[in-house]
Structure formats: structure tokens, C-alpha cells
Amino acid sequence: MIIKLLKNLYPLFLLVFITSCATRSRIVYFKDVKDTQRKVINVEYKTIFQADDLLAITVSSSDMQGLEPFNLPAVSFNAIPGSVVGEQKQLTYLVRKDGTIDFPVLGTIELAGLSRIEATELLKTKMSSYIKDPIIHIELVNFKITVLGEVNAPGSFTIPNERISIIEALGLAGDMTITGRRKDVMVIREEDGLYKYHRVDITSDRVFNSPVFYLKQNDVIYVTPNNAQVRSSTYNRHTPVWISVASVLVSLGILLTR
């Protein structure tokens, strides 16, 4: 009786094993890219300053006289608690909710909605009355992205160069797990006070022309789990062990009946 039951269950276990295996098309990235193929990226990359950005702004000139009022001082802080050696760090400007900053001498300046080049030209024009041939350097110091879901190392990451693609972001998070849905990667982006949701298929080369291929500050990437992972979350944690035991019993039963 037991032998007969085990033989009847064997095809069921075999079916579960086969259907649980992911196909190549669901796992491999850029599967439609051919050898030596060139892909033109038509997505424009541009950092636009927005509220809550922290900006480090440095002013220099061939004539150093009169520059001091336009540069925030550098302060010393202990990078390691208890250390007697401090690290120098320049103070930054916080872009307020209304999109403005308070700049020395110049007063209130609106920078939200401007690109780096536009903000640089604006400051250069305003400073030209005080400084001869001013040179402006603006750095966004809190460019941050967050990667969540089915990745090996989820978390928030600070980007030093302000340019990162969705592929590089997934790499920072240790790549997607085998149970992550590569055809359904979500990017959440805040624009104009609204959250916008974009879905990206990493298995297709169309990702290179997605509007979210290059990420913006504070973007959130969420890798959704596949159906097998969702179903497994409802199982008892000991289920795989019992399946393994049942598989051994089925195999043993088949051997005994031969």
C-alpha cells in the first residue's frame, strides 16, 4: 500500500521540481543583445537640483582678493569617535522646501529646478559685480539611491559622482537574487511633488532607453519577488526538509519494487 502510494506521488514531485525551475529567458540579462551589437543610449542625463539637496559651493578666481566672504568655512569633526585627529569638511547649503538657499553677500537665491550648468551660470552672473572672472564649483553631496526587495544587499547608497545607472545600482546591492523578477523592476521617483512609478525589464536591451536608466537623487529601486518566492513565503520553514525526505522515500520505494 505504501509502495503504491509513493509511486503515485512520484510524478507529482517530479512535476513540482520541473515547474519550479526558472527558464533562461526569465533570468538572463539583456538576452536580446547580439554579439558586436551597438546600442545608442537616447536618455539624457542631467542632475536637477531639488529641495533637501545639500550643495557644496566653492568660489575661486584668478584674483584671490575678496573671495573669503563667498566661501563657507571648513569645520573639523571626528570621523572616529574618541579620535583626537579631526577631519576637515566644508559646510554645505541646504536647498529649502521653497527651492532657495541663503548665499553670503548675494542673499536668497533659487536653485531648485536648475541643472548644475544653469546654477553655475546664475551664481557667476551675480558674483561678477564683486569678483573678477569668478569660477564656481557646485557639488551635490547627498546624492543617494535606495535598493530594496529581492537583492543580495539591500540598502541606501551615497553616490559620489552623481551619475549612476540602474544596472550599476543593482550591482551596488549585490545583484538580484535568483528569485527576483527581472522583467518587473520598479523605480520610484519623486517629481514635482508626486511619486512616479516606472517598471523596467532588465532582460531586454530596451532598458538602455528607459527614462529611469540613469537614476536621480533619492530614487528607490524595488525588485519584486517571483511567484515561486511569494508562494514559498506561505509555507512552513520546514517544508523543504519534508519535501526532501519525501523525495528520498519515493526513490527508495521505487528501488524496492524493482
Average pLDDT over the chain, rounded to an integer: 81
Grid cell for residue 187: 523605480
Neighbours of 198 (CB within 10 A): 16
Task: Please state whether the predicted TM-score (pTM) of the whole model is above 0.75.
Answer: no
Task: Assign 225 to helix, strand or coil.
Answer: strand
Residue 226: name the closest of 53, 38, 20 by CA: 20
pLDDT of residue 173: 96
Q: How far apart are CA 140 and CA 184, in angstroms?
A: 30
pLDDT of residue 20: 47
Angle at 119 between CA 115 and CA 121, to 5 degrees: 120
Report for 6-10, 166-170, 235-239: range of highest mean pLDDT: 166-170
Least confident of 35-49, 135-149, 210-224, 231-245: 231-245
pLDDT tens digit sequence for 119-155: 999 999 999 989 888 999 999 999 999 999 999 999 9
Residue 54: name the closest of 242, 224, 257, 218 by CA: 218
Grid cell for residue 68: 573669503
> pLDDT higher for 31 or 200?
200
Over residues 49-57, the mean pLDDT reads 94
pLDDT of residue 205: 86
Task: Assign 39 to helix, strand or coil.
Answer: coil
Q: How far apart are CA 17 and CA 151, in angstroms?
A: 24
Q: What CA–CA distances, in Å, run from 52 to 6, 176, 208, 217?
A: 64, 30, 29, 10
Over residues 51-58, the mean pLDDT reads 94
pLDDT of residue 132: 87
Over residues 180-204, the mean pLDDT reads 92
Reported residue count of the chain is 258
DSSP string, 110-157: E-TT-BHHHHHHHHHHHHTTTSSS-EEEEEETT-EEEEEESBSS-EEE
